[in-house]
Structure 1
Amino acid sequence: MAGKKRRRRTEKTARRTTRACLTALSLSLTKHLAPANGGDVVTAAAACGDANLAFSPAAIYAAMAFLAAGAHGDTLQEILDALGGESRDDLAAFASAVAERALADTSRSGGPAVAFACGAWHDAAWTLCPEFRDAATAAYKADARAIDFSHEPERAVNEINGCVESATNKRIDSILDPSSVNTSTNLVVTSAIYFKGKWDAPFRRSHTMVDKFYRLDGSTTDVPFMRSSRSQLIGVRKGYKVLKLPYRSPAPPPLLLPPPPPRRRKGGSSQQGEAGDEISNASDDDELPKYSMCIFLPDERDGLAAVVEQMASGPGFWHYRLPTMRVPVGDFRLPKFKLSISSSMKHVLRDDMGINSVFSDVDADLSDMAKRNDGGDEPGTPLHVGDVRHKAVLEVNEEGTMAMAATGSYLLCGANVVMDQPETVDFVADHPFLFFVIEEMSRAIVFVGRVLDPLISGL
């Protein structure tokens, strides 16, 4: 029994360590959400300095942990250092937990619809090692296969896109464009994620109205704004406000009643206490996923860069700034938007996270992933990552399916808060803002992004 408790503590410590590194990855991505300043921005998304952006730290973490399963030597150590694991098993355990909780499709039980696809595509001149192939399937539910980059790069692109489309049930139809690979490419890692959640308390479509949205350059565009008079989870901070919008959570499974306690015999003992202890000691891991969107809105219309700087200042910034109390609202407006962003993560991982050798055609050591078909050990170009491609698709609209009785209960709760907090708060997201989509039980950040123009769906 003591051994089990010790193992549980060790597992929890490992989860806290890797969770911290997932947050660190999220912060690295957050830095790239600052808008371009006079064109002088050196980021992975430099070409997108004046566009909407969105990344999924959880999905990127899972893809890089998957890559670690085939890495060796310094290459493996760099990935472990960046992702916060002592071993491949640590990364596999945490990535698997993230995939099962934060990246799992819970739409059938009433939660968000999530589609996640991860893959490693190597040139046909190499053969996957059996151990890596087994890890890809067992721990990461990932696709790993050979493809002919050397002779037919365009066909390779079509095949990868087709696999992503199939894995996400056609919710994401492509991740690469023809220019993404060429005849010298020998390995591409991909991760794609689709997310569509229903609000815990939906917005009324009849209340949506078109209004002005102010871009960073001072120009305006007409966009549809969702409106509400309900109390909201809003925090007022110095220089910005934070709105937390819960998504509808998965419904719990039917409660199975425990069997009746055995009949107490004379001189015997009942097992009821043991059964009760087992039920009361249920693990936190059994808690259902709980998703929320958190929007950080600058007070100033051009204040996005300052908020990004604060967000990237420390690992606990985003979490401890989230609101915990509902407040009555005055003017409440949130634009509808849909983002479909495809980008390279290579520069972020290399320059910000310190993962260097895996991208080097000299230093990469992926010898536990694949071997050359000719079996030769002579010097040559090793298997190395040409790019890490990532695509994120997210929709925000009025949709919700709360029953009338549940909605009534929700409004009553809001009315109680109104009595306790009479001061109203305006939240008008009519200028650029940041957003996070989080799974609260694991603190996994599913998305981090910025909206500069709600009418632009992507790149």
Structure 2
Amino acid sequence: MRPTGTKPITPKIEMDQIISNQTDVAMTLTKHILGDNNPCNVVLSPLSLQLVLGLVAAGSESESLKQLLSFLKAESTEELNSLASHLANHVFTGGSPPGELTLSLANGVWIDKSLSFQPFFSKVVDDVYKAGSDVVDFKNKASEAAEKVNLWIEKKTYGLIKDTISPDLFDDETRIVFANAIYFKGFWANKFDMLSTRNDDFYLLDDSSVHVPFMTSTTKYYCISAFDGFKVLELPYKRETDMRDISMYFFLPDAKDGLSTLVDKLASESGFLERHIPSEMERVGQLRIPKFKISFEFEASKALKELGVCAPFIRGRRDFDRMVNSVYDELLYVSGVFQESYIEVNESGTEACAYSRIPMCGGGPLPVTKIDFIADHPFLFLIRENKTGVVLFIGQVLNPEASWPRFSIDYNTIFGNR
């Protein structure tokens, strides 16, 4: 018998529509995260969060399931499972020779020795999300559990994120940790010449400026479009033998203080991103893009609650009973939703990674018009797999000189004193 709260996916539900829905979710979530962190540079992977939330949803029921499906714009957990399988088979599959792109995804689950997963949920974990799972002792061997999670994160992010989990994060109420990691490294199809990089002014939101290195190019034609109030530039990554088609997109508002308005448009209009992906090669006049490097971490519970996902965080509910077998009648709840991300953009290309975790307790002639693209004020960027339309990473650059903003999370405030 199929577990309650789910229904089979029907042929009417096309995968491109599912992905389009998830893109809308990504833009909505991004708006909230950027709004909460407006003074600083940001990079995040909405996809990483969506996948780990989808895994949690697969084991939920009642109000938690209803709210998770509503937020994720899905009709059923089968729909989310189909998306996870599709991504594994079409986006995060195959590989490229050295010098081309690397894109990988991994899911991980750590469960306390006092629990075991229900058979149906184990099948979802193993067969759909292909998550590596491990049994740990959070209460008595917290250091060992933290080491296992840290080693997994370091391996799956290719060493870019290390030692992020402290044993203090685990206590006698920690029961399960779900995690997802995404890594990307790509080289530009047309690399920038390092000798042409020059320092110039980047204008900040407070009307001041900083002198930062800008990459420039003598390439005459780019896939670029000018819209009402902003421009969008595509920079594709090299893929001689790889079937995947991945590009970075820069959304540059015309006004130096126009980023927040652009983000609002991106999040408020369904399908806005798809309608503003450039498709024609245009002649470019000046092209200047700053080099930048960002490391960012955040806790997403506040944003998720504002977007209607509240029940999974409430203690004492039985919304996750069907996920596990427990001799102690555990009442599981989500105690936090965390992500840490990194990106570096330079003359050669891009390297980016993110990990998310959810702990649970208890053709034609080319035009001659030239378009300048001078990214000398705050802008939005995203990395997208073009064949599927999946957004892998998204963020904002407010000050390229502020390369390493890091934010400590007050876990006592989040978890409370238990």
Establish whether TM, by shorter chain, passes 0.5: yes
More helix by share: 1
Say which of 274, 290, 301 aligns to 1:319. 274
* Correspondence for 1:162: 151
Say which of 182, 185, 192 aligns to 1:203. 192
More strand by share: 2
Q: Aligned pair 1:399/2:348, yes or no?
A: yes
Distance 1:167 1:34 in 2: 26
* Correspondence for 1:188: 177
Note if contact 2:142-2:168 (Cα within 8 Å) is conserved in structure 1: no
Summarize the alignment of residues 120-199 of structure 1 with structure 2, pairs less than 5 Å apart.
120-151=109-140, 153=142, 155-176=144-165, 180-199=169-188
Distance 2:318 2:382 in 1: 33
Q: Aligned pair 1:363/2:317, yes or no?
A: yes
* Correspondence for 1:436: 382
Normalising to structure 1: TM-score of the pair?
Answer: 0.75
Shift of 1:83: 2.5
User: Residues 441 and 357 (structure 1 numbering): CA distance in 2 closer, same or farther, change over 3 Å?
Assistant: same
Runs of 4 or more, structure 1, over 6 Å off, are none
Distance 2:56 2:110 in 1: 11
Q: Aligned pair 1:232/2:222, yes or no?
A: yes
Distance 1:344 1:364 in 2: 24
Q: Which runs of 5+ in 1 are unaligned?
A: 1-8, 36-45, 253-287, 401-412
Aligned to 2:321, the other structure's residue is in SS state coil
Note if contact 2:138-2:174 (Cα within 8 Å) is conserved in structure 1: yes
Distance 2:204 2:102 in 1: 31
* Correspondence for 1:457: 404
Summarize the alignment of residues 200-349 of structure 1 with structure 2, pairs less than 5 Å apart.
200-230=189-219, 231-249=221-239, 251=241, 288-349=243-304
1:236-294 deviation digits (Å, cap 9, x = unpaired): 12221111111223616xxxxxxxxxxxxxxxxxxxxxxxxxxxxxxxxxxx3211111
Aligned to 1:170, the other structure's residue is in SS state coil
Q: Cα RMSD over matched residues?
A: 2.8
Note if contact 2:156-2:181 (Cα within 8 Å) is conserved in structure 1: no
Which structure: larger Rg? 1
Q: Aligned pair 1:68/2:57, yes or no?
A: yes
Normalising to structure 2: TM-score of the pair?
Answer: 0.82
Q: Aligned pair 1:387/2:377, yes or no?
A: no
| Equivalent AA in structure 2 for residue 296 of structure 1 | F
Q: Which runs of 5+ in 2 are unaligned?
A: 1-8, 350-362, 407-418
* Correspondence for 1:106: 95
177-186 or 360-369: bigger deviation: 177-186
Note if contact 1:188-1:388 (Cα within 8 Å) is conserved in structure 2: no
Distance 1:325 1:368 in 2: 51
Aligned to 2:278, the other structure's residue is in SS state coil
Aligned to 1:251, the other structure's residue is in SS state coil
Note if contact 1:122-1:145 (Cα within 8 Å) is conserved in structure 2: yes
| Equivalent AA in structure 1 for residue 191 of structure 2 | P
Aligned to 2:150, the other structure's residue is in SS state helix
Note if contact 1:188-1:387 (Cα within 8 Å) is conserved in structure 2: no
Distance 2:67 2:169 in 1: 25
- Number of aligned residue pairs: give it: 384
User: Residues 171 and 34 (structure 1 numbering): CA distance in 2 closer, same or farther, change over 3 Å?
Assistant: closer
| Equivalent AA in structure 2 for residue 356 of structure 1 | C
| Equivalent AA in structure 2 for residue 189 of structure 1 | F
Aligned to 2:206, the other structure's residue is in SS state coil
Distance 1:350 1:428 in 2: 38
Distance 1:304 1:358 in 2: 33
Identity %: 32
User: Residues 169 and 28 (structure 1 numbering): CA distance in 2 closer, same or farther, change over 3 Å?
Assistant: same
Shift of 1:152: 5.2
| Equivalent AA in structure 1 for residue 331 of structure 2 | P
Distance 1:234 1:179 in 2: 49
